[in-house]
Amino acid sequence: MASSDRPEANANALLQQALGLHGAGRLDEAARLYDAVLAADAHHAMALAMLGTIRAQRGDYDGALVLIARSLDRDPRQPHALNSQGIVLRELKRPEAALESFDAAIALDPGFADAYCNRANALTNLRRLPEAVASYRRAIALRPGFADAYYNCGLALQELKSHEEALACFARAIAARPEAAQFHMGLGNTLLDLNRYDEAMASYRRAMALDPRHPYALGIYLYAKAWACDWGGWEEGCRRFAAGVAQGVMVAEPFTALTLSGDSGIVRRCTEMFVKETRNDAREPLWRGERYAHEKIRVAYLSADFRTHPVASLIAGVIEEHDRNGFEITGISFARAEGDPMRTRLEAACDRFVDVEEIGDGEAAALLRELEIDIAVDLQGFTQGARTGILAYRPAPVQVNYLGYPGTMALSGYDYLIADRVVIPPRDQVHYNEKIVYLPDLYQCSDAKRLISSAVPAREEMGLPAAGFVFCSFNLTRKFTPQMFDIWMRLLLRVPESVLWLAQTGEPARSNLRREAAVRGVAAERLVFADYLPSPADHLARLRLADIFLDTFPHNAHATASDALWAGLPVLTCAGGTFAGRVAASLFTAIGLPELVAHSLAEYEAAALHLAQDPQRLAVIRRTLAENRATAPLFDTARFTRNLEATYRAMWTRAEAGLRPEAFAVGDGPCD
């Protein structure tokens, strides 16, 4: 028999053809030839592994894992099959098992650069970031110019806040493969973290030029423009954003969408697309219906912001006020903050405080399950530092979205969202995956122990004129819009010798705002930029120098509005169409000043002008604010905490009875 007639020779010839087609991306043809090889030899190790790889490329990870396992049973000494198995396990959210596969591949082939890069990816999932960086660097040493390794190393370094090293990695990735849009996105995101907005925008523009539909590029580009107050082409960009959402294009991540849109439906659609694309939803649940026999309800608060941060400043008093006869409180921190005074206070306020920064989501979830947490409260949501993967493992019977993120998580791991009827009117519940729980007064907690310095500085010390009306807006510049700025500039033109006092910000926002003021006929010096004050008490004291705080729209002030009201500074807001756009309205309702809530921008502008021209009316509002601060619900931390505890008890009662979550209002029945 000629060698070409032997079955194994035919199988090898078919295999070589299949590998060529596979490398060319012709997956269907390659799969048919792999099947033909297996028809000749049902246990052909490489054919099994490569067919499994095709299954993985098509998204069938479970099927891929079966085929690759069969291949490794036939021949366990296959570095490439082990590498493929690791990739599949990582896609199945099993990073520990993936790491074992990559280590086995490297043990068989110490020069396997791809395996080192994939190993680093698994280490990144496990939050072992320094080890991941070392593994990426080993991959690069083995294969100089390894673009993907440089890019992924940049992502890990960015997470470690080693921004300059991250920039260098992204630059090398781009040099190796300049046509890769995601590399320019990574560079842009790091530049954005460094507040280098113009450079970030240039990177995003390059990414969109290479791939006009690159996921999230348009949204983050507009987000960077918002930070920089660079409003050239703003309206057209917002139209493209809305059109993209309507077409089902992934134009913005959830938090970016909150900044760009005043429509709850648009925000929800962006969130749902993000959740589907990132596949960061349900895992095999760690809690499977077990009944705990705790004397106290065990509540865990999860956040990356247990430090000097707006979320911490709001929640600290509540954690201290919790009734320790009925509740046991655990803090789960996603980030360290050594030496931070707020961190010290929160650690002391909790019964238990655990840092999970350097462990993976699965391990952190297992810790919550081991602690038998009854109610896990995510204070982070989709804000910076989010760890939504933890609750995807269902470590607790009740899982709650509260405070940090004003929108739906659109994830199955979240049962409830705590709100009030102002921020989420009953008709808007359709835009939220969670069941809405209404607190009786307001949703936002506060800390009645916040200190205000007794030494109020002179206006001149803050760069303000000694006389004249002071409008202020200490919101972040990303919340400014050309429409709002038009109103503010018209107010300055109509109120002689007035100024607009803005929060500390860097370039290019200052230059852009001054230029925009001049375009509208307002002298640039009538914009006064505050310096950063490290002391929250000193910052609150200086707010008393302003006459009125002008809120932003469609995204309101949140903790910033609470600060102003606590300092005795009236705030004028315009209620928007989203949770994020109605927070200030909720606060004013809770302090008995609903007249400070406008329901259109025309009403907002007229009210601001009226108050600026009527000092007696403004004085009455200030007196009412001062009187109500001590009696109204807004700053009654103890009252708020009792309401929140009633909420937790109701949630826990349903869970103990084996009932599904449902919307309700504290003190009422079910809420439609």
Q: State yes or no: pLDDT of 24 exceeds 50.
A: yes
Share of the chain above pLDDT 70, in %: 98
Of 583, 617, 623, 613, the C-alpha closest to 475 is: 583
* Spatial separation of the C-alpha atoms in residues 272 and 431, rounded to whole Å: 11
State the pLDDT at residue 283.
Answer: 85
State the pLDDT at residue 258.
Answer: 94
Q: What value does the mean pLDDT take over residues 288-298?
A: 94
Of 640, 618, 509, the C-alpha closest to 562 is: 640
Contact between 120 and 106 (Cβ < 8 Å): no
Q: State yes or no: pLDDT of 6 exceeds 80.
A: no
**Amino acid, single-letter form, for residue 24:** A
State the pLDDT at residue 13.
Answer: 85
State the pLDDT at residue 8.
Answer: 64
Q: Which helix (H) or strand (E) holds 582?
A: none
Please give the full DSSP string across 384-398, using - where no structure is assigned. Answer: TT--HHHHHT--SSE
pLDDT (tens digit, 9 = 90+) per residue, 46-74? 999 999 999 999 999 999 999 999 999 99
Which tokens is 6 given?
């032997």
Q: Predicted confidence band at 668 (pLDDT cuts at 50, 70, 90)?
A: low
* Spatial separation of the C-alpha atoms in residues 263 and 129, rounded to whole Å: 37
State the pLDDT at residue 9.
Answer: 63
* Spatial separation of the C-alpha atoms in residues 88 and 7, rounded to whole Å: 31
State the pLDDT at residue 659.
Answer: 96
Of 378, 383, 388, 387, the C-alpha closest to 411 is: 388
Which tokens is 662 given?
């449902």
State the pLDDT at residue 3.
Answer: 41
Core vs surface per residue 86-110: b (16+ CB within 10 A) or e: bbbbbebbbbeebbbbbebbbeebe
State the pLDDT at residue 12.
Answer: 81
- Which of 26-35, 307-316, 573-582, 590-599 is predicted with the least confidence, judged by mean pLDDT? 26-35
Which tokens is 137 given?
């660097």
pLDDT (tens digit, 9 = 90+) per residue, 103-115? 999 999 999 999 9
State the pLDDT at residue 280.
Answer: 75
Core vs surface per residue 350-359: b (16+ CB within 10 A) or e: beebeebeeb
Of 527, 538, 455, the C-alpha closest to 498 is: 527
Q: What value does the mean pLDDT take over residues 575-597?
A: 97
The helix/strand/coil state of 243 is: helix
Q: State yes or no: pLDDT of 453 exceeds 70.
A: yes
Tell me how far CA of residue 448 lies from CA of 43, 317, 630, 633, in angstroms.
71, 7, 9, 11
Residue 376, beta-bridge partner list: 300, 399
**How far, in whole angstroms, is CA 335 from its chain's centroid?**
14
State the pLDDT at residue 40.
Answer: 86
Contact between 217 and 204 (Cβ < 8 Å): yes
State the pLDDT at residue 567.
Answer: 97
* Spatial separation of the C-alpha atoms in residues 407 and 218, rounded to whole Å: 21
Of 428, 396, 660, the C-alpha closest to 670 is: 660
- Residue 128 CB-density burial (10 A; 0-12 exposed, 13-18 middle, 19+ buried): buried
pLDDT (tens digit, 9 = 90+) per residue, 422-448? 999 999 999 999 999 999 999 999 999
Q: State yes or no: pLDDT of 193 exceeds 90.
A: yes
Tell me how far CA of residue 383 lies from CA of 233, 253, 255, 303, 311, in angstroms.
27, 10, 6, 10, 11
Q: State yes or no: pLDDT of 671 exceeds 70.
A: no
State the pLDDT at residue 145.
Answer: 96
Q: What value does the mean pLDDT take over residues 199-216?
A: 97
Structural domains in the chain plus CATH codes: 297-438 (3.40.50.11380), 459-635 (3.40.50.2000)
Q: Going by C-beta distance under 8 Å and a sequence separation of 6 or more, which residues neighbour residue 389?
A: 93, 280, 283, 361, 362, 365
Which tokens is 417 given?
């969202």
Contact between 478 and 223 (Cβ < 8 Å): yes
pLDDT (tens digit, 9 = 90+) per residue, 25-49? 999 999 999 999 998 888 899 999 9
Looking at 309-387, list the stretches that DSSP marks H as alpha helix, in order from N- to C-terminal side.
310-321, 341-349, 361-370
Q: How far apart are the first and last CA of the chain?
A: 80
State the pLDDT at residue 669.
Answer: 44
* Spatial separation of the C-alpha atoms in residues 357 and 183, rounded to whole Å: 26
HEC profile for 253-314? Answer: CHHHHHHHCCCHHHHHHHHHHHHHHHCCCCCCCCCCCCCCCCCCEEEEEEECCCCCCHHHHH
State the pLDDT at residue 279.
Answer: 78
Q: What is the DSSP-derived secondary structure letter of residue 535?
A: -
Which tokens is 334 given?
């996603």
- Residue 27: what are its φ and ψ, rounded to 5°? -65, -40
pLDDT (tens digit, 9 = 90+) per residue, 515-567? 999 999 999 999 999 999 999 999 999 999 999 999 999 999 999 999 999 99
Tell me how far CA of residue 288 lies from CA of 283, 373, 416, 426, in angstroms.
12, 13, 18, 32
Q: What value does the mean pLDDT take over residues 636-665?
A: 97
